[in-house]
Amino acid sequence: MTTAVAVGTAVATLPPTCSNVVINNVAYQQCGPTWYQPQYVGAQVQYVVVNPPR
């Protein structure tokens, strides 16, 4: 059983089962039902949970 991750939550690493998806020229990572969008904080990448893109 998996638990939902709240939109806006930032993580430093993603599970290994994620897929890179580009929608409307925006890169996302889809990890099962959870979608992440990479954001740079300085030189570090964080992945922020977003609503599924349309």
Which residue from 4, 7, 6, 52 is spatially nearest to 30, judged by alpha carbons? 52
Sole residue written with tokens 């580009």:
22
Tell me the whole-structure pTM to 2 decimals: 0.85
Confidence class for position 54, pLDDT limits 50, 70, 90: confident
Distance CA 37, CA 50 (A): 7
Strand partners, 14: none
**Mean pLDDT score, 13-36:** 95
**Mean pLDDT score, 44-54:** 94
Output the CA–CA distances (angstroms, integers) from residue 5 to 19, 31, 43, in the order listed.
Answer: 17, 11, 25
